[in-house]
Amino acid sequence: MRKIKPFTVPVARLRDDGLLEIEDDLADVYRAIAELLVKRYGKKRRSNFIGSRDLEDKQIGVVGQFMFQSLLNQLRIPHISDNPVFVFREHRILWDFLVPNLGSIEVKTFRPTDHYFMVKKNLWLSEVEGRGEPDYVVALRLLSSYTAKPEGWLFGSEVSKLPVSEKGGKLTPFCDAYFCRFEELRPFPEFLARLKKCSLSKCRS
């Protein structure tokens, strides 16, 4: 079984400086989830699964999903999450989150050294064909094992309109990908304002 680098379990809060801060006391739970996913993917041959970096990408994705869910909890926003530990169709909601009165949200998580929002073209088109486009795509970038920066967001319909970095290029040696610099994304505070309108705290008398 391939080994992947451990990340701190994602239980986060949105700080006043706009960063998500992670607590590290649930590391065993997070490792258990990562090991389960590694075991499952190891039993299958997948077109989007080519090596240890892909395993690490999936682990980072789990971190980002839990971090974003913790933000929804902090803001008291009702939601349904597409938990990756479930595989039965009845348990899945297709994209990472569904927020009533807002829509579906896909969270993409990136490494500390990344400068670009990037999505594999073929994988994205395949998922959209089967699921339809998510309403929103949110980009998080890990700064360390304890913090992450929400880099911005796009409407789901905007992803396939981004420039394409072709396979074999400097940015994408293994596959074609939609990309843009993080600074070109829509500002995260705009999306945060949309989220806050869905908060249960707005319903308090």
* Global model pTM greater than 0.85: no
Predicted pLDDT of residue 29: 65
Q: What is the pLDDT of the chain when averaged over all its residues?
A: 81
Relative to beta strand 136-142, strand 103-110 is parallel
Closest Cα partner for 62 from 23, 101, 89, 36? 36
Do the Cβ atoms of 154 and 191 come closer than 8 Å? no
What share of the chain in percent tops pLDDT 90?
47
Closest Cα partner for 161 from 140, 184, 143? 184
Distances (CA, A) of 18 to 67, 68, 153, 188, 189: 13, 13, 14, 9, 9
Q: Which residues pair with 177 in a beta bridge?
A: 120, 165
Whether residue 205 has pLDDT greater than 60: no
Tell me the one-letter amino acid at 99.
V
The rounded distance, in Å, linking the Cα atoms of 37 and 164 is 29
Mean pLDDT of 83-99: 79
- Which stretches within 75-175 are classed as H helix? 121-131, 156-159
For 70-79, how does the pLDDT look when each residue is reduced to its tens digit (9 = 90+)? 899 989 999 9
The rounded distance, in Å, linking the Cα atoms of 117 and 20 is 18
